[in-house]
Amino acid sequence: MIDPTVVDLSRLQFALTALYHFLFVPLTLGLSLLLAIMESVYVMTGRAIWREMTKFWGVLFGINFAMGVATGITMEFQFGTNWAYYAQYVGDIFGAPLAIEGLMAFFLEASFVGLFFFGWDRLSRLGHLSVTWLTAIGANLSALWILIANAWMQNPVGAEFNPATMRMELSSFYDLLFNPVAQAKFVHTVSAGYVTGSIFVLSISAYYLLRGWHLAIARRSLTVAASFGLASALCVVVLGDESGYTATINQKMKIAGIEAMWDTEPAPASLTLIGFPDVSAHVTRDAISVPWVLGLIATRSIDTPVEGIDDLVKMGRQHIEQGLVAYRALMALRQNPNDEAAKAALAKDAGDLGYALLLRRYTENILDATPAQLTEAANDLIPNVPVLFWAFRFMAGLGFYFILLFAAAFYLASVRRLDKGWFLRIALLSLPLPWVAAELGWVVAEYGRQPWVVDGVLPTFLGASSVSPGTVVASIAGFVLFYSGLAVTDVVLMVRTIRRGPPHPPAERPL
C-alpha cells in the first residue's frame, strides 16, 4: 500500500513552493501595469515628477521581479520533479505551456526589464514607454501559461488516456489553451494582482504622507493607486462570478463544499452568508442565507439546481462503478493488446477510470472491492468543507473591503483631502491583506480539487512515488532554507528602498 506520510509530505512540498512563489507574482502583475500608467502620464505631460515616480516604483518592481523569477524556476521544476507519480502520468501535458512561460519569463521579460532599467537615457520617451508596456504585457502573458497548466488540473481537457503507455497524453493543444477554466482563472488572478500592486503603492504612499516625506510623489502615487485599484477590485468581484460559473460546470463538489450545501435545494439555490458546517451530521448550523443568489451566480438561471454534497457522493459512486468497467477492460488490454471488445469498453468508460483508482486507498485489487469500500471511496470525494467554507468567506470579505478602501481613497484624492490621518493609517495597515486574500484563493482552489491531483483523473494519494519520508523531508528542508534566504533578502532590499525613497524628490511642501 502507498505510504500516506509520503503523500502528505509531497503535497506539503508542492504547496510550500507554490504558495511562496505566489507571494511575488501578484505584486509583479500589479506594479507592471502601474508603471506603464505612470510613464504614460510622463510621456503625455512631460512633467519630470512622473518620471521620478516611475523610476522609484520600478526599483521595487525589479526587486520583486527578480525574486519571482528565482522562485518560479523552482515552481516549474515542481511540476515535473516533485516526489510524485503525477509528473510521469501527466507531465508532458504541462510541457508546452511551461516551456512557453519559461521563454517569456526568463528571456523576453528579462530583456524588457533590462531595457526598462538601463534604457532611460538611451531610448526616446516613446521607445522607453513601449518597453514599459511590453514588460507589463509580457508579465501578464507569462502568468497566463502557468494558469493554463494549473487550470488543466481542475478541468483536464485536450488530453486522452493511452493504455499503451499508461499515461494521460496531450491530444489537442487548442483545447488546452482555450480551456474555459484557464480563461476564467487568468482574468480573475491578474485582476487580483492589480489589486495587490495598488494596495502596495497605496500603503507605501500613505506611509510617506504620515511621515511628511516625498509628498508630491506620494500624493500622485496614491491617486493613481486609488483609481486603478478601485477598477481592479470591482473587476475581481465581477470576474469571480465567472469563476463560480465555470466551477459549477466542471467542479460541482467544490461549489457544494464552498457553500457547505449538503442537500440539493429546489432551484434557484440560496447563498449561505455565514453558518457553521457540521461534517459529522452533514448539516450547516445557524446558517444565514439569501434566497436565489447562489442559483443565479452558479447556473445563471432560475430553474437549474445546484447539486448538494450528498447527491454528488451518490453520483460519484456511480462513476466509480463505471470506472471499474474501464479498469477491467484496461487489465484485459494489458493481457491482450488486440482485444477489440476491451478497447471498445475502455473507450466508452475511460472518463471514469480515475474514479476507480480511488479504491486503491482501500485495496490493492480494486476489482474485488466490497460495497463498503465503494462507499468509503465515494465519501472521499467530499473535500474539507470547513476549510473551504471559511477560506472563501474571508477571501470574499477582503475583496469587498478593498472596494471600500479604494473608494475612500478615490474620494479623498478627488477632493484633495489626503491629509486624513485615520485613512492613511488604515491604508498602511492594509498592506499585507491582498497577499492574505490571494493565498486564501489558492487554498480554495486546491482544497476544492481534493481528493484529486488532476480532477477526475488521478487521485491525490496515488500522486506519491516510492521514496522514503526522510528523502522528502530533506528536500523540503532544502526548499525552506533556500526560500528563507530569498525572503530575508527581499525584505531587506524592499525596506531599504522604501526608506531611501525616490532618489531626486521634487520640491515639497509640508502637510
On whether residue 241 sits in a domain, the answer given is yes
On whether residue 343 sits in a domain, the answer given is yes
Coil/strand/helix, residue 132: helix
Whether 296 and 330 share a structural domain: no
Residue 168: predicted pLDDT:
87
Whether 373 and 487 share a structural domain: no
Whether 414 and 441 share a structural domain: yes
Residue 82: predicted pLDDT:
53
Q: Is the pLDDT of residue 507 over 70?
A: no
Q: Is the pLDDT of residue 509 over 50?
A: no
Q: Which of 98-102, 156-160, 414-418 shows the lowest per-residue confidence on average (mean pLDDT)?
A: 98-102
Q: How confident is the model at residue 1 (pLDDT cuts 50, 70, 90)?
A: low
Residue 290, beta-bridge partner list: 271
Whether 409 and 289 share a structural domain: no
Whether 220 and 289 share a structural domain: no
DSSP codes joined into one string, 361-391 = GT-S-GGG--HHHHHHHHHTTS--HHHHHHH
Q: Is the pLDDT of residue 186 over 80?
A: yes
Whether 176 and 33 share a structural domain: yes
Q: Enter the pTM of the model.
A: 0.90
Coil/strand/helix, residue 459: strand
Whether 204 and 142 share a structural domain: yes
Whether 446 and 371 share a structural domain: no
Residue 510: predicted pLDDT:
38
Whether 214 and 85 share a structural domain: yes
Residue 200, beta-bridge partner list: none
Q: Is the pLDDT of residue 68 over 90?
A: no
Residue 437: predicted pLDDT:
93
Residue 169, beta-bridge partner list: 160
Residue 314: predicted pLDDT:
95
On whether residue 260 sits in a domain, the answer given is no
On whether residue 508 sits in a domain, the answer given is no
Q: Is the pLDDT of residue 79 over 70?
A: no
In one letter, which amino acid is 456? G
More confident residue, 311 or 486: 311
Domain hosting 360: range is 312-379
Final residue of a domain: which of 379, 394, 413? Answer: 379
> What is the arithmetic mean of pLDDT over 33-41?
96
Whether 327 and 476 share a structural domain: no
End-to-end CA distance of the chain: 69
Query: Grid coordinates standing for 309?
Result: 454534497
Contact partners, residue 475, CB within 8 Å, separation at least 6: 13, 83
> What is the arithmetic mean of pLDDT over 424-434?
96
Residue 463: predicted pLDDT:
62
211: number of Cβ within 10 Å: 14
Q: How confident is the model at residue 100 (pLDDT cuts 50, 70, 90)?
A: confident
Q: Which of 131-135, 171-175, 465-469 shows the lowest per-residue confidence on average (mean pLDDT)?
A: 465-469
Q: Is the pLDDT of residue 184 over 80?
A: yes
Final residue of a domain: which of 358, 379, 400? Answer: 379
On whether residue 181 sits in a domain, the answer given is yes
| DSSP 8-class letter at 286 | E
SS (H, E, C) 349-362: HHHHHHHHHHHHHC
- Pair type for strands 167-170 and 271-278: unpaired
Q: Is the pLDDT of residue 179 over 60?
A: yes
More confident residue, 295 or 244: 295
Q: Alpha-carbon distance 204 to 62, whole Å?
A: 16
Write down the mean pLDDT value for the chain: 87
pLDDT exceeding 90 applies to what percent of the chain? Answer: 49
Query: Phi first, then psi: what are they for 187, rounded to 5°?
Result: -65, -35
> What is the arithmetic mean of pLDDT over 375-392?
94
More confident residue, 86 or 127: 127
Q: Which of 112-121, 202-211, 272-281, 431-440 shows the lowest per-residue confidence on average (mean pLDDT)?
A: 112-121
Residue 55: predicted pLDDT:
93
Final residue of a domain: which of 379, 414, 432? Answer: 379
Whether 371 and 395 share a structural domain: no
Residue 161, beta-bridge partner list: 168
Contact partners, residue 235, CB within 8 Å, separation at least 6: 187, 191, 194
pLDDT exceeding 70 applies to what percent of the chain? Answer: 93
Residue 77: predicted pLDDT:
64
- Exposed/middle/buried for residue 366 (C-beta within 10 Å: 0-12, 13-18, 19+): buried
On whether residue 438 sits in a domain, the answer given is yes
Whether 397 and 469 share a structural domain: yes
> What is the arithmetic mean of pLDDT over 47-64?
93
> What is the arithmetic mean of pLDDT over 362-388?
93
On whether residue 160 sits in a domain, the answer given is yes
Q: Alpha-carbon distance 56 to 35, whole Å?
A: 10
Residue 277, beta-bridge partner list: 284
Q: How confident is the model at residue 504 (pLDDT cuts 50, 70, 90)?
A: low
Q: Judge contact between 82 and 12, C-beta under 8 A.
A: no
> Structurally, how many domains does the chain consist of?
3
On whether residue 510 sits in a domain, the answer given is no
Q: What share of the chain is helix, strand, coil (3-state, %, to 5)?
A: 75, 5, 20
By residue count, the chain amounts to 511
Please choose, from the candidates 238, 294, 304, the residue with its C-alpha nearest in 3D space to the C-alpha of residue 269: 294
Residue with cell 501559461: 145
